[in-house]
Chain A
Amino acid sequence: EAGVTQSPTHLIKTRGQQATLRCSPISGHTSVYWYQQALGLGLQFLLWYDEGEERNRGNFPPRFSGRQFPNYSSELNVNALELEDSALYLCASSLSGLAGSTGELFFGEGSRLTVL
């Protein structure tokens, strides 16, 4: 069974540009999470989608946005890129992230974004 897949693996952009990252969850998983892993900061929670709806977001500015499609895949968009947005962006999926669920998160290998 395929795991969580992310694309692209690497992405290089310049300041002010927009970046789009994509994630396909494990088949049957309805929840998708996005985390940012910047050097020295650990994983920071960005966004959580379930059944097509944004359920929660972390302490990131509105230029970080995303969506979940009917097939449960997800897209993360980062507008007006800044140098400090350079990081590994990890997507994870679970069976359900709704209250009462203890579904384990399965992570993809990440998309490394470099902003020059």
Chain B
Amino acid sequence: QKEVEQDPGPLSVPEGAIVSLNCTYSNSAFQYFMWYRQYSRKGPELLMYTYSSGNKEDGRFTAQVDKSSKYISLFIRDSQPSDSATYLCAMSSNTGFQKLVFGTGTRLLVSP
């Protein structure tokens, strides 16, 4: 069993839809949770960073962490075609960004 599970998609939605992306994990030691966005032929870029449980909002993006269920989510409101990318969840039990464990990524397609 992988430490981090993520549905590879693709997830296709129309412009303006609310998108929900999810990851589950098995290692209860994870405390740092991140979402990265990776455009085709580019490296991943950090979108959201959350410590422990709770919600964090940044513009159209909301990250949720439920440590009791070992489940994290990323919500995208008013999705845009420019949001079309692969979204990777990542986690760490260390301080900060050392030795991240990534999900396989979910490919999101937002059609105009």
Contacts and interface: CB of A to CB of B under 8 A. Distances in A.
Interface stretch (A65-73, A75-83, A93-101): A93-101
A16 interface: no
A35 B97 CA distance: 13
B43 interface: yes
Interface string A35-67: 100001111110010000001101000000000
A107 B43 contact: yes
Given A42-B102, A105-B97, 14 more contacts: A40-B8, A41-B104, A42-B6, A42-B105, A43-B100, A48-B99, A55-B98, A94-B97, A100-B96, A103-B96, A104-B49, A105-B46, A107-B44, A108-B43
18 contacts: A42-B6, A42-B104, A43-B88, A43-B90, A44-B102, A45-B100, A48-B98, A48-B99, A56-B99, A90-B43, A94-B97, A97-B96, A101-B95, A102-B95, A103-B96, A107-B45, A108-B43, A110-B43
